[in-house]
Each structure stands twice: as structure tokens, then as C-alpha cells.
Structure 1
Amino acid sequence: MSSALIDGQRHPAIVILDFGSQYSELIARRVRENNVYSVMTRYTTSAKEILLLNPKGIILSGGPNSVYEQGAPICDPDIWNLGIPVLGVCYGMQVMVQQLGGTVAVAKQAEYGKAPLEVDDSTDLLVNVAQGSTVWMSHGDTGKKLPEGFVRLAHTNNTPDAAIANHQRRLYGVQFHPEVIHSLYGMVILSNFVHHICGCEADWTTEVFIEEAMDQIRTQVGTKRVLLALSGGVDSSTLAFLLHKTIRNQLTCMFIDQGFMRKGEPEFLMDFFDRKFNLKVQYINARERFIEKLRGIFDPEEKRRIIGTEFIRVFEEESKLLGPFDYLAQGTLYPDVIESAGTNLDPKTGERVAVKIKSHHNVGGLPKDLQFKLVEPLRRLFKDEVRRVGRSLGLPEEIVCRHPFPGPGLAIRILGEVTSSNLNILRDADLIVREEIKQAGLYNEVWQAFAVLLPVRSVGVMGDKRTYAFPIVLRCVSSEDGMTADWSRLPYDLLESISNRIVNEVKGVNRVVLDITSKPPGTIEWE
């Protein structure tokens, strides 16, 4: 086995030390796509702590720093003497070079974007990597002198040592990012490292995850009862099926209709889960309560905190009637945790700090006096992994393929104050967006497609009369896991149909605009 179960916990085959790169999580995901279990930890993790995880390999991520600067983040130097294969990626390679006696300095010419990789040594790391294949560069520093025992594996026009190795010590470095899709043979390189060099077996599968998750749930919950916050999205739905399969009658699902769902969804979800799959769901109508709580609230973070807190309060109150319950189950995913925690690292402590992008209601909006213990078996999975788990559990495609929907719902797709009238406008517009994209056969081709209502008005003309109404923003993005995204290039005739229907059918709207911002720099949601 490439990873072992110790005390009921799977230990990783690959440990990724995070130096603060925006792609660190993507490395973990790519390793898992090779059916090898990986986890990410802070770069300050000691060699002794890493040994306790019993990994077969270590990957050092990229990062925004220059390794020669005072106070630049570095790893425990004892890591190089563990006898465990190490792959340094970009900044991780520079850390390797610097700590092992080489020299890193400012490159004569910074290199960003695509570059052809010229392979000098096609053994080990670069087996089956095509000569001249494209790699993705993102660096302003480079290795000027390699440490003793290292050789060049590949170069580019601007980077003499684009890939390096100490074959005897099984230490490898690449100056480019193999984890991004722009590096055409990136997955081959990572596969060479985890399978060929580290000797990991491809034993991290959906079926294995389900078995281990079920064991962990049974161990954590015992005979206690669990309350699940069911939203109807793929995350909570997959979790519902997983928990139902694991603990059966110990599970109670509660659907809180907070008034921020899409048009017709509460009725659809109750029919789907309660009547079609006999998964007993308690329906709670709390629309007025949530709307009242958001009266006069304009700040998006405050909205999220209020909604998150109110969710828990409703659960607590209703659980007294249905319970008692000891555990609250949530469909929290890895991207939720990442975005709520921030992506920068404190160079002294190694902890993720500041730069919180936004609070997710099931991560950053929980009250300190929470009365439940949390059950979150999906929190280390990416969205595509959750979909595979859902399919394996028998979740129908109509749920598995649903576009992600934020916990706070339409409340964060209305910029500014949330009112009943604005919610109705947005529901009608959003339904048109989804109907048109489905009719065009493109629903499964985009990651998310939805409407946003802006708190401004503009002048228009309808039927020779002046109008002064709201604009709707059309937000359609393509992505693999929500960590990064690009705007979807929808056909012009489809955009025209969406626009015509919205301005003609949705009262209070006279303009439709298209958001063509990628993530980063933007986020998928507007709030």
C-alpha cells in the first residue's frame, strides 16, 4: 500500500510542504489524480513530524518569496537527510538549491508563461516527457550554481537549469509548474515522481475513500445522533447519502429554507429526497427570519456571518424539538477551508494568515458558542472528487452535475441590501440563465452559470418609454475545481437569447452585462 491506516487515519503517501503558492492545493489534487493520497502541511513542519506521517515522498510547493532574502521561508534542513524522495517545484526547487549549498539569484530575464522544455536527461523524473513540450514558468529568480552531486535534467531558452536532480539521493527540482494544465507533460512528471521514484501504489480511489470515511464516521459518532444541514447541492447531498449508508437511523436531515434559494428549488429538493429516495427530511420555513436579520446589512462579510450564525441558531432550536443531537454534519470542502483561512503564510510561524478572501458560512461563519460537534468527512476533497464519490454512492446525475451554489444563496448574488423584491427579480433572471444554457446543451460544459443583481439603476427605453431599472450581470465560468476559473466563451446567439428574455420577462431589469473576469484576480461569486 502506498499509504497506511494508523489509528483509523490514512497516512499520506505524499506530503506537500506549502510555501504559500496559489497552486499548492493544485499539487495535492494532481497527486490524487494519480490515485495517490496526499496532504498539504505548512513549510515549517519538522522532519520528525513528517516521519510520523510515514510518507513515501515529499513535494515542496512554489511560493511568492525570494529564497535569498532575509527571513525567507525555508524547510527543516533535516528533511534532506530522511532518505525520502523530494521534489521541489519553482520556489521549492530554489529552497533545495540554496539549502544544499548551491546559489540562487535574480535571473537575467524573468520567465512567465509558456516555454518549450528541452530535455537533457530523460531518466527518472522526465521519462516519457516529449522534447520541446510546453511548460508553465512563473519566476524571476533562478539557480546560478547547483549543489554538489546535482545534474541538469532540462533547460529552456531563459532558464539553464529548468529541471535538476541528485539521482543518488533522489532529490529533484523543476523551475516550472507541472501541476497546471499549461504544462502539457506535467501529469507525466508528477506520475514519474510519485509512482516510479517514490514507489507509490495507485490505491487512493473513490471506493477506498468511501470505506475509510465510513469507518471514521462510525468511530467519531458511535451511537450518537447526527443532524445534517441539507442544502440540495452536490456536497451536502453526497454527504447525506454517505451518512445514510453509514449510520442509517442516527441521521436526521434538516432543510432550512432561508429564502435565498433559486426559484422552485425548495419544492424540488423536498420531493427528491423525501419522497423519491425516502431520505427523511425535516422542512423548516425560516424565510422571514433570515430576511429580517439582513435588513439594513450591506457588507458581504457581515451578510455571510449573519447567515452562518442564523443557520446554526435555527439548527439548535429545531434540534431541541427533534433531538437531542450531538453532531452537526456539513459538506465542507477543501476550497471552502482554503478561501476562509487565507493563502498567505507567516514566515515565522508557518501559519496561513490574513488575506482572507471570504468567509464560507460553513467555515468562517460559525458562532463561537456552537452547541454541536462537527462531522465533516468531505473537507479534504475537491469538488470533482466529491462528484465521483456521489456517483459511487448512487446519487443521480441531476444532483451530481448541479452547478455549485453558495451556502448563503442568492443573498450574496445581490450586492448591497437583500430585500424580498430584489430576491424575486434575481430568481426570475437566474432561472432564465439556467434554462437557456440547458436548452443550448451547455449546462455541463460550464462550472457555474448564474445572475447577479447590482444595486444601481440605469436609463433604458421600452415601448418608447423611459425606464430606470436594475442591471443583471451574467456570470459564467469554466473551472476544474473552483480554485481557479476562467470566463466561459458562450455563443453570441445564446448570450443574445438570455439578454432578450431577461429584459422582456423580468420586471425591474432593463440591462444585461457580461462578467469576463477570471479567478484570480476576481472570485467566482461577487460577494
Structure 2
Amino acid sequence: MYTIKTVVVIDFGSQYTQLIVRRIREIGYYAELLSWDVSKEEVVELNPAAIIFSGGPASVFEEGAPYIQDYFFELNVPILGICYGLQSIIQKFGGKVEKSSKREFGRTFLEIIKKDPIFDGIPKKSEVWMSHSDRVEELPENFYVIAQSENSPYAVVRNVEGNIYGVQFHPEVTHSQYGRKLLSNFIEKVVGIEKNWRMEDFLEKKIREIRETVGENKVILGLSGGVDSSVLAILLNKAIGNNLIPIFVDTGLLRLNEKSEVVENFEDLGIDLVIVDAQEKFFEVLKGVEAPEEKRKIIGHTFIEIFNETAKKLLEKHGDIKFLAQGTLYPDVIESKVCGSKSAAKIKTHHNVGGLPEKLPFKVIEPFRNLFKDEVRQIGKILNIPEKIINRHPFPGPGLAVRIIGEVTKESVEKLRKADYIFIEELRKENLYDKVWQAFSVLLPIKTVGVMGDYRSYENVIALRAVNSEDGMTADWAKLPSEFLNQVAKRIINEVSGINRVVYDITSKPPATIEWE
């Protein structure tokens, strides 16, 4: 059994489930995620201090829908249900949940109607994020309402004893104004345990685990130069030294000057890289491919093929290589539906988790699998990694291939590479780069009519995308100055051959994803 207390989050399939774990950790408490059909023994092993039931895409009254197992209420720990979790609690105790005549999706106002410890420090009215088409119509015996919204008369409820709560909205997403405060109140005032989670502790534990797992064997790492793989490389170097073999694959899908910058950064840190030029290979396998999922899978498989080929060449020089390290993060896992939940809705395959063949010649180690991007950056700061590395914007594993809508060619990559460089260069010039979480360009598979000089043009469109986020699970589009966007558009059209129109994406996540593919 774990020696520390754990807030156990039970996954009913919501795309936000991992965020609940993230928020609890942010507050300073250890949390883990388990599937709704987990055994009692596995939960007890975690030494649970509280149980949180997540949201989910199903309806509690549907045949085959996930349900709350009886033993959860036998653990005698406080319970919080979120969205589907609330509805499951209500149904479990004999209340009524039905399809709502009006779907409630997006921001709405929560009104507190009864004083309660979980509302300490929260105003009577505040914005919350709703995402449901069912609602509670009748409470079970011994439950009462403590807050409501326009379309949810039972938006927050609790039982008489005060150890079971349910909220219809999603406090874990940043759109809920005081959601984090509500979760904090639940842990501090209802659960009542001491804080027990720090990134420094995680880092020390992970270094010990890596050393114990790897021993004297060698580890290869696909180093992209992005935040995740860079921090992972430096962590592994600290843990196992020269037994780490970082492999940088030039796919031909990288940003302008990416290869030289990555090599220079790691030379400065005293880490040698194995450079593999695979540009022609990637363009060959991507020829004629347009579907986003197929692109991701092809790129994933090709990466592994190249790793295998490179590893064989390295065996003679370095001896046995038994491990492959990956910088897989929580958002990668949840959106690829490999977090263990049987009910999560798949959004897309991620490069780190979706392209692996069934049989690998290496054992895969993923030290960051349970972390979010900002937690990885925290580790980077603890390791004293230069800010120019840890503050880089996220970049997808498949590279520019998933920012080109349609077929990937050398010509399309060149257009996008130049446009993207201009966008990022202008952001840095105007001191806006560090004020947005991620910014990039997308090449669209359409042509529009334009006028360039005295001539009619019929050329491609570039979409600019900039968002602010904490962890990549939710995001708001960045309100960049119109004068700035005008300058970027002018430069792209004047400097990038084949582009005559620039547009700006003002869609948040949800409903869109951050990347276009």
C-alpha cells in the first residue's frame, strides 16, 4: 500500500479527466487516475483519501453505460462527482436523471443558494463551464441542492452527512472561473489531508526509478529538440550519463534552422547526438497521403523503422541497447484513448503513442507519461535547463506534416516553413512569443483569387494559429494585436512564393483541437 494519501480519480471517459488529476496536483496533493471498472484491491492499494468521479460521453440510463461500483461507498472517504459523475451518484441513490430539453454547453453562470465549505472564497455568482445534454431532475433522499444554473436546477448537490458532493459543471477546466478553488476547498475542508505532492519529489523518485530499471543498459531516445524530448534527454543524462544515446532524425518536416539549433543547444550541454538524415524516406512514404490519421501512423511507423535501423548500426559500437525512451505526456495518452479507460472518445492518434508496432526490440520507458506540459517545464527549471529550450512552444511529433492539410510535398513544406518562420520571428521581435502558449502556421489545401501588382493570382492560403493554455487540454485563441497580424500577413504574402491570402484562427479548444490535424 502507498505510504502517502492519494486522491483517486475514476475515469468515465471525459476528455477532461486528466485535467482533474492535474488540478489536484497543482493544489499540492497526489492524485492518480483509474478506469471506472477498476478492482477494489487496486484502489485500496493507493491508500485513497478521496474519490472523484469524472465526466463522460455516455448517458447514465443507457444500456451498457459505465456505472459506479458499490465498493466505492464502502471505503468511507469523501466523494465528489463531476458531470457524468454527479449523475451516476444521483442514479445510484435512487434519484432521477433524464435527457434535457436544452443542451448546456459552454460558459454559464453558477448561483450559490446555500452556504457550504466547498464555496468558501467563491462569490455567489460566477462563470462555470458546462458540457452535458442530460440533467438531474429529482434528487435522492438525503441529498439537497446548494447551487444552480439557468438550465441545471441541481448544478451542485451534497448529501446530508456532507461527505458526498456532485457538480454538474467542470471545475477542472480553466473556463470555470473558480473551479480550482472549489476543488481546493473539497480537498482541504472536506477531505482534510496534508499537502504531499511536489515536482522536486517526483524528479528524485523518477531518477531512482530510471536507474533501477535501466541498470547498466543503454537507452535510445528520439530527440526532436522540443520541450518534452529535450527535458527528457537531460533528465536521462543526469540519471544514466553516457548510457543515453539521443538520436536526432531529420525528417525533412522540421522548422527552418531546427537541426542546427538543436545540435548547438545540446553541444552546449555536453550531450552528443546521433544525427540521421531521413528526409527522402519520409517524403517517399508520405507521397499521396492526405488523411490526418494515416499521416500520423505512417510517420510513427517510419520513426520506429529508422530507430531499428540506427540501433542495429549502433550495437557494434555501444553494445546492447534495451530501452527506447519517449516523451509521452498525459494529453497524448487521453486523446489517443490509451489511458486505460474503456469509455473515452478518441480524438486523434498521437505520434508518441499511436505509431508503435506490436513487437519492439526495445522496452519502452515513458517517464513523463503522467505529466502535463507545464509540469515538464517545471522539471526543466529544477534541472537548470536554459530558458531558450524549456520555453519553446509545443511542436507536434509528426512535425510540419500535420500542419499541411492534405498531401505533404517538399514544395508545400517549404512554403509552410518560410511562413511559420516569419510568424515566429515577428512574435519574438514584438516580445509576444512568451505571451502565448503556442503559435504556428497551417498551409490550407485551397487556392483563392488575389491581385498582386497588376496581375490576377490564384494561390494558397496560410492560416495563423496562436493560443493560450496551461496544459494543452483546453485553450483560448490569443488576442494578438491587429496591427501585428497585418504585419505578419504582409511579410508572408511578400516573402513566400505561392501564398496570396492569410487568415487567423479564432477558435478555442474545445470545440476545436489546437492543431488542425
Shift of residue 432, structure 1, vs aligned partner: 0.2
1:368-427 per-position Cα deviation (integer Å, ceiling 9, x unaligned): 232211110001111111111111111111111111001111122122222222222111
Q: Is the 8 A contact 1:233 1:399 kept in 2?
A: yes
| 1:146 match | 139
| 2:115 match | 121
Q: Is the 8 A contact 2:15 2:335 kept in 1?
A: no
Q: CA separation in 2, counterparts of 1:282 and 1:99?
A: 57
Shift of residue 340, structure 1, vs aligned partner: 1.6
| 2:10 match | 17
For 1:301, give the aligned amino acid: E
For 2:195, give the aligned amino acid: A
Q: CA separation in 1, counterparts of 2:443 and 2:137?
A: 53
| 1:497 match | 487
1:172 to 142, 149, 165: 165
The 1:138–1:401 alpha-carbon spacing in structure 2 relative to 1, beyond 3 Å, is same
Q: What does 1:448-459 align with in structure 2 at a 5 Å threshold? A: 448-459=438-449
1:317 to 309, 321, 339: 309
Q: CA separation in 2, counterparts of 1:161 and 1:352?
A: 25
| 1:338 match | 334
Q: Is structure 2 residue 294 aligned with structure 1 residue 296?
A: no
The 1:70–1:215 alpha-carbon spacing in structure 2 relative to 1, beyond 3 Å, is same
Secondary structure, aligned partner of 1:314 = helix
For 1:493, give the aligned amino acid: E
Secondary structure, aligned partner of 1:425 = helix
| 2:69 match | 76
Q: Is structure 2 residue 54 aligned with structure 1 residue 58?
A: no
Shift of residue 479, structure 1, vs aligned partner: 1.9
| 2:125 match | 132
1:38 to 31, 36, 49: 31
Shift of residue 433, structure 1, vs aligned partner: 0.5
Secondary structure, aligned partner of 2:260 = helix
Secondary structure, aligned partner of 1:363 = helix
Q: CA separation in 2, counterparts of 1:463 and 1:305?
A: 43
| 2:352 match | 362
Q: CA separation in 1, counterparts of 2:146 and 2:167?
A: 9
Q: Pairwise CA RMSD of aligned residues?
A: 2.3
Q: Is the 8 A contact 1:260 1:408 kept in 2?
A: yes
Q: CA separation in 2, counterparts of 1:131 and 1:416?
A: 49
Percent identical residues: 49
The 1:144–1:455 alpha-carbon spacing in structure 2 relative to 1, beyond 3 Å, is closer
Number of equivalences = 512
Q: Is the 8 A contact 2:15 2:334 kept in 1?
A: no
Shift of residue 519, structure 1, vs aligned partner: 2.3
| 1:520 match | 510
Return the TM-score normalized by structure 2.
0.93
1:118-145 per-position Cα deviation (integer Å, ceiling 9, x unaligned): 241323x333333333333444544444
| 1:277 match | 269
The 1:90–1:304 alpha-carbon spacing in structure 2 relative to 1, beyond 3 Å, is closer
1:271-304 per-position Cα deviation (integer Å, ceiling 9, x unaligned): 1102x11111111122122222222222222222
Q: What does 1:459-478 align with in structure 2 at a 5 Å threshold? A: 459-478=449-468
Q: Is the 8 A contact 2:13 2:342 kept in 1?
A: no
Secondary structure, aligned partner of 1:387 = helix
Shift of residue 46, structure 1, vs aligned partner: 3.4
Instruction: Give unpaired runs (5+ residues) of structure 1.
Output: 6-10
Q: CA separation in 1, counterparts of 2:235 and 2:185?
A: 34
For 1:74, give the aligned amino acid: Y
2:2 to 4, 20, 23: 4
The 1:142–1:277 alpha-carbon spacing in structure 2 relative to 1, beyond 3 Å, is same
The 1:141–1:406 alpha-carbon spacing in structure 2 relative to 1, beyond 3 Å, is closer
Shift of residue 75, structure 1, vs aligned partner: 1.0
Q: Is structure 2 residue 411 aligned with structure 1 residue 418?
A: no
Q: Is the 8 A contact 1:115 1:137 kept in 2?
A: no
Q: Is the 8 A contact 2:324 2:365 kept in 1?
A: yes
Q: Is the 8 A contact 1:13 1:200 kept in 2?
A: no
For 1:117, give the aligned amino acid: E
| 1:401 match | 391
Q: CA separation in 2, counterparts of 1:469 and 1:408?
A: 25
Q: Is the 8 A contact 2:451 2:457 kept in 1?
A: yes
Secondary structure, aligned partner of 1:459 = strand
Instruction: Give unpaired runs (5+ residues) of structure 2.
Output: none
Q: CA separation in 1, counterparts of 2:387 and 2:380?
A: 9
The 1:208–1:105 alpha-carbon spacing in structure 2 relative to 1, beyond 3 Å, is same
Q: CA separation in 1, counterparts of 2:355 and 2:101?
A: 47
The 1:462–1:13 alpha-carbon spacing in structure 2 relative to 1, beyond 3 Å, is same
| 1:215 match | 208
The 1:524–1:159 alpha-carbon spacing in structure 2 relative to 1, beyond 3 Å, is closer
Q: Is the 8 A contact 2:12 2:343 kept in 1?
A: no
The 1:497–1:153 alpha-carbon spacing in structure 2 relative to 1, beyond 3 Å, is same
| 1:225 match | 218
Which 10-residue stretch deviates more, 59-68 or 378-387?
A: 59-68
1:320-356 per-position Cα deviation (integer Å, ceiling 9, x unaligned): 222331001111111111122279x9xxxx6146x53
Shift of residue 21, structure 1, vs aligned partner: 2.2
Q: CA separation in 1, counterparts of 2:504 and 2:225?
A: 27
For 1:121, give the aligned amino acid: K
1:351 to 308, 332, 342: 342
| 1:8 match | none
Q: CA separation in 2, counterparts of 1:143 and 1:46?
A: 28
Secondary structure, aligned partner of 1:226 = strand
Q: CA separation in 2, counterparts of 1:408 and 1:200?
A: 42
Q: CA separation in 2, counterparts of 1:229 and 1:435?
A: 27
Q: CA separation in 2, counterparts of 1:76 and 1:381?
A: 28
Q: CA separation in 2, counterparts of 1:426 and 1:159?
A: 46
Q: Is the 8 A contact 2:2 2:45 kept in 1?
A: no
Q: Is the 8 A contact 2:468 2:476 kept in 1?
A: yes
For 1:357, give the aligned amino acid: I
Shift of residue 83, structure 1, vs aligned partner: 0.6
| 2:261 match | 268
Secondary structure, aligned partner of 1:311 = helix
For 1:371, give the aligned amino acid: P
| 1:507 match | 497
The 1:74–1:121 alpha-carbon spacing in structure 2 relative to 1, beyond 3 Å, is same
For 2:6, give the aligned amino acid: A
Q: Is the 8 A contact 1:120 1:155 kept in 2?
A: no
Q: Is structure 2 residue 298 aligned with structure 1 residue 306?
A: yes
